[in-house]
Amino acid sequence: MTSILTSLKQATWPLHERLERRLNLLSPRFSSTDYLRLIKSFWGYCRPLETRLAQLHELPHWLPDIHLRAKSPLLEQDLQVLWVAGDDLAQLPLCTDLPVCDNIAAALGCLYVMEGASLGGQVISRHLSQTLGLDADNGAAFFNGYGEATGEMWQSFRASVLEAKADESIQIHSACETFLTLERWLLPPMLNADEIL
């Protein structure tokens, strides 16, 4: 019997791979200007998404540490280091094209993508350190994620998904929608990713 985690990985892999390829964060052409633009965009996506997830009051039952998994505080920390704070932060656009997260299955599907990004961020974090001189304390807290606790946090999330036994089809749909809405937000159709980075 295939586990929901295997099903999620198989269903989202093409979308995951396409987004990684289009963002091309490991490109030698990826500059500090590109990085700042990306961090602003990630904040504009994560902030309203986390507000939406917070409205699902039963979520902490399945993820008691959900408050520790918020990405927007890390992004705000990075933006403050990179001189975007206060009024400037308030002026950044917020994404309204978000996945529906009105039940546990949908929330877990969405979080599968966001938590997976923390895991993959470890590779990007090392690259940013080498190419742009950024680390968790000076502008790359978001990609550094949970630092040394990243593996443990991922395993904890996986265990919660299995324990919840939520509707598999809803989780898969939500995870795919998360990738799709994130891609549309980070790379609007009218822009050519090869020209941006």
The model's confidence at residue 195, banded by pLDDT at 50, 70 and 90, is very low
- 4-16+35-188 falls under which CATH superfamily? Heme oxygenase-like (1.20.910.10)
Rounded Cα gap, residues 159 and 142, in angstroms: 23
Q: Is the pLDDT of residue 193 over 60?
A: no
Q: If you compute the radius of gyration of the chain from its CA atoms, what whole number of angstroms results? A: 16
Domain spans, the chain: 4-16+35-188
pTM: 0.91
pLDDT tens digits, one per residue of 73-111: 999 999 999 877 666 888 899 999 999 999 999 999 999
Which of the 8 DSSP states describes residue 69?
A: G
Give the Cβ contact number of residue 148 at 10 Å.
Answer: 8
Rounded Cα gap, residues 2 and 167, in angstroms: 14
Please give the mean pLDDT across all residues of the chain: 92
pLDDT tens digits, one per residue of 121-140: 988 999 999 999 999 999 99
The SS3 assignment for 94 reads: coil
Rounded Cα gap, residues 18 and 22, in angstroms: 6
Angle between helices 32-54 and 104-131 (to 10 degrees): 160
Q: Is the pLDDT of residue 40 over 60?
A: yes
Angle between helices 168-186 and 32-54 (to 10 degrees): 140
